Structure 1
């Protein structure tokens, strides 16, 4: 039975628990993005949240105007208090620009906006993605419960096995071997912290409202690993936990293309290297790239053994081809355009919400800002 502890508190799924948790003091942030109504209406997520009963649900929605309107109508079918934060509203862009925070749009910006609004209305905040087909009513309580045991930041982890294959490729083949390579020739507490997370790219986490206000955010795909860098400063080892959410099945991405894993690897790598710089670690990227390839090849052999003994399909040659693609992302990060902690800006979450709801009049109307 697996109950070994990592560098941070690790809560295993030993009894399929749905623990007691402060749901009445919790806001759940569910970022959603899509062009068509069918892509932004995950019925199983909100029907489950109805049974969970959080105090509030905040949906940062990135979608065209017509799709956003359709979502606002659709969400009224559920008996759960939902606040829709339309992230593509012109008013939000105007408001961010006014405060010097304009920049690229993406998941990270959406979650950051949602964190600000959620932390204003609840003591605890849970964030999770909307594309998991295995989402269950135990997810929010499991993420929340460690916050009542002295922790400020809780990360979810899970197994990615579907269609008799191992998924989670960007974690398995990029982040995990990259952290292994970084740890080969240096001892640093922050690297021990990173290495402790069983699924560092999981989109599921929980924080106290106070901690939520102190987290910076990458604007796009580097959000999850970037948050670990800030969580180390905010919560540290002793107030960080990770919790087993079981087996997850959700959308898969191709390796190539503008929204593929290789593009994501560029942004995840940049976020990781910015976090390293924050904690005084400055790698030699040429040497690190070679050590990464060696570490990744070793892991491919290990995954091949694990897959074989579990009668899963596995293609080592295809995995190594992905490693070669991801190696191009091992390079110095570009300019730092992270969004600041909410405690470090005079932009107010209420102004963001106002801008989202009043897109046609925000520029000329008074706001709570």
Structure 2
């Protein structure tokens, strides 16, 4: 029976019949006070994974207070993407994250330096935190997504936790995935922890899948997130959750097994490029909390820790009859090692409690299709809390 607890509360899915009501079942009513944020790009328009996510969200009873979809798409794409998103029976708010008015809004506030998933999610977090008590964020590329994941992520929040993160198995097509977490994040955290006893390293190491895109937070915590602009979002979120909620206020929730779309390893859009963003944010978080990495030796020590883990992964794969390419994994390890360097300038976006504009300003800028009033100013629709016909 797998019931081991980490430094944070770890809520398992044991399976089988239960004699008492499940906490996730008790969290159903909280859905009506929740905004669900599902970031997308134009390439996910009508993709099977994204369609499944939205179809599963339609099954939630009660419906979420809002489903906010921050979309990054070209000008000729946003119309078809919006039409498709609004075809689902959901209280959908589409936010075009790279709309000209959004770019102007950010530039006017001195926040125009860079973009990516983190910026898109941040743009949605402000409006989401205005909707109700809770915010749930998850990716749109899970082909195995289930509506119950929302209830499971909310369950700890209804039990007085302030932050919860999903974890799940990444075993697909007869092999191990979750490569950036297994081969980069995990050995780097282990390496840093060998000569530092900082609490933040215990916290970051307690999450079984720290790079998962699925998390839930109280609306107040969501307003305290300083989002990195790109792929460092997940690590940056953990850093802020450590400050705000700490060990006692954080939990992780078993979401079973996920099947995702996969990225290539090499190139700026692959895992190699993502590792640079993750490294910068991870090292920024630990430095802010008192860790002083020895950058002269860190790469070599990371490689040694990763090499030991690869031997363990190989044994685990063999035990389960899975294919495993040790040489290929060591090649990835060497590529990711090049990402380990001092984090550089801090380009995070501000907490929403300190933002230079209001969430309503984002909605007005990100929804240029809304009607205008007699004074020529856009009047964004109020967020509808009932499902569309």
- The alignment's TM-score, normalised by the length of structure 1, stands at 0.96
Residue of structure 1 equivalent to 2:247: 237
Residue of structure 1 equivalent to 2:363: 353
1:265-290 C-alpha deviation (Å, 9 max, x unpaired): 01100010111121121201121111
Q: Confirm or deny: 8 A CA contact 2:48 2:143 kept in the other structure.
A: no
Are 1:34 and 2:42 an aligned pair?
yes
Q: Confirm or deny: 8 A CA contact 2:49 2:140 kept in the other structure.
A: no
Are 1:150 and 2:160 an aligned pair?
yes
Residue of structure 2 equivalent to 1:15: 15
State the Cα distance separating 1:122 from its structure 2 match: 1.4
State the Cα distance separating 1:40 from its structure 2 match: 9.2
1:127-182 C-alpha deviation (Å, 9 max, x unpaired): 00000000012100000010011111111111001000000000000000000000
Residue of structure 2 equivalent to 1:5: 5
Which residues in structure 2 correspond to 1:24-173 (within 5 Å)? 24-35=32-43, 37-39=45-47, 42-52=50-60, 53-173=63-183
State the Cα distance separating 1:351 from its structure 2 match: 0.2
Aligned residues: CA RMSD: 2.0
Partner SS for 2:86: helix
Q: Confirm or deny: 8 A CA contact 2:210 2:235 kept in the other structure.
A: yes
State the alpha-carbon separation in 1 of the partners of residues 124 and 48 from structure 2. 16
Are 1:248 and 2:258 an aligned pair?
yes
Change (3 A) 1:190 1:77: same
Q: Confirm or deny: 8 A CA contact 1:92 1:355 kept in the other structure.
A: yes
Q: Confirm or deny: 8 A CA contact 1:132 1:250 kept in the other structure.
A: yes
State the alpha-carbon separation in 2 of the partners of residues 41 and 25 from structure 1. 25
Partner SS for 2:26: coil
State the alpha-carbon separation in 1 of the partners of residues 31 and 371 from structure 2. 35
Q: Confirm or deny: 8 A CA contact 2:50 2:142 kept in the other structure.
A: no
Poorly superposed stretches of 4+, deviation over 2 Å: 15-20, 34-42, 358-362, 364-369
Are 1:318 and 2:324 an aligned pair?
no
State the Cα distance separating 1:79 from its structure 2 match: 1.4
Matched residues, number: 368
Change (3 A) 1:36 1:309: closer
Residue of structure 2 equivalent to 1:196: 206
Which residues in structure 2 correspond to 1:268-347 (within 5 Å)? 268-347=278-357
